[in-house]
Amino acid sequence: MQENRISRWYFGGVSSSAAACLTHPLDLIKVHLQTQQEVRVRMIGMTVNVVRREGYLALYSGLSASLCRQMTYSLSRFAIYETIRDKMNRKNQGFIPFYQKVLLGAFGGFAGGFIGTPADLVNVRMQNDVKLPVELRRNYAHALDGLLRVWKEEGVRKLFSGATVASTRGALVSVGQLSCYDQSKQLVLATGYLTDNILTHFLASVFAGGCATVLCQPLDVVKTRLMNSKLEYGVKLHSLTCLKTAKLGPKAFYKGLVPAAIRLIPHTVFTFVFLEQLRQHFGAVAVT
């Protein structure tokens, strides 16, 4: 009989980092599309432009910052969510209800979003650098260099520019990913047709990725613009004013929805497939 194992607190950060290595080019193209002032090119056109200007390696610009973000933001939210959820499950001697998963996911995501804001800011800037004129580029060597330069040149407060939006976005995406994944996996297993295997993990994670994309896309657009801004958006301006100032209109809330879905759904799938494999092979034995 297979032992019942639970994830260790750092598995979420490790699995998210592994997934980021595979989906980083999609994330980079999504950032480029979201920071357009007007819709000039679509996803394929933007990809071709980046490759023509900078070469194929440009698709991995900012990878170090992306990994830094996953090891702060994702590690924190997974650690909070899964640690508290497992304790509550043991206390209740069963699965906690869905509304508690939603509240727990929102709390973990909000905390993780705030913790990961500095790395997220550098990540957005490094990804967007390749499409700027040479004289306007920030040219961060890597994530640590970016963090130090922002601190020295713009102050500590700038490191947390957009923290409110990033934290709110983290709460929404965590509800979509963590809570919806747990619930959909529970429902799939309850049918009795599938066991706790990779097919179940795949189906549940596809559903979770779709939910997360729809929930977080409006705030994701605002977050990207605030973090990439220099003077055009004040930190104290309301996020909606940010979009109105750029004269983008209501549809701008879902700018890049398709590339966001193409990026976030595979990232969610890879994250949970890696996470479940880590849990099954290296997880702690559950105490009953």
When divided into structural domains, the chain yields a total of 1
What is the amino acid identity at position 37?
Q
Measured distance CA(94)–CA(27) in Å, rounded: 37
pLDDT at 53: 82
Let me know: does 119 contact 147? Beta carbons within 8 Å: yes
Question: Which runs of consecutive H residues, i.e. helices, occur in the chain?
Answer: 11-34, 43-54, 63-69, 75-92, 98-115, 117-129, 143-154, 156-159, 163-174, 180-190, 198-228, 239-245, 257-282
Measured distance CA(46)–CA(23) in Å, rounded: 16
Measured distance CA(217)–CA(245) in Å, rounded: 19
Statement: residue 152 has pLDDT above 80: yes
Residue 139, exposed/middle/buried by CB under 10 A (0-12, 13-18, 19+)?
Answer: exposed
Residues paired with residue 7 on neighbouring β-strands, in sequence order? none
* Closest residue by Cα to residue 271 from 223, 206, 218: 206
Share of the chain above pLDDT 70, in %: 83
pLDDT in tens, 212-257: 998 887 777 776 666 666 544 444 444 444 544 345 566 666 666 7
For the residues 185-214, what does the mean pLDDT come to?
94
pLDDT in tens, 116-125: 999 999 988 8
Measured distance CA(48)–CA(224) in Å, rounded: 21
For residue 129 the two structure tokens come to 């650098």
pLDDT at 119: 93
**64-73, 126-135, 187-196, 275-284: which has the minimum mean pLDDT?**
126-135
pLDDT at 47: 82
pLDDT at 182: 96
Q: How far is CA 154 from CA 138, 157, 159, in A?
A: 12, 8, 8
Longest dimension (CA), the chain: 63
Statement: residue 49 has pLDDT above 60: yes
202: confidence class by pLDDT, cuts 50, 70, 90: very high
pLDDT, greater one: 221 or 154 = 154
Measured distance CA(154)–CA(115) in Å, rounded: 19
Model-level pTM? 0.84
Share of the chain above pLDDT 90, in %: 50
What is the amino acid identity at position 25?
P
Tell how strand 5-6 and strand 284-285 pair up.
antiparallel
Residues in the chain: 288
87: confidence class by pLDDT, cuts 50, 70, 90: very high
For residue 284 the two structure tokens come to 């702690």
Q: What is the CATH number of the domain that holds 137?
A: 1.50.40.10
pLDDT at 237: 45
106: confidence class by pLDDT, cuts 50, 70, 90: very high
> Phi-psi region for residue 39, left (φ > 0), alpha (ψ -120 to 50) or beta?
beta
Radius of gyration of the CA atoms of the chain, in A: 19
Containing structural domain, residue 56: 5-285
Let me know: does 255 contact 43? Beta carbons within 8 Å: no
What is the amino acid identity at position 12?
G
Residues paired with residue 285 on neighbouring β-strands, in sequence order? 5
For the residues 181-188, what does the mean pLDDT come to?
96
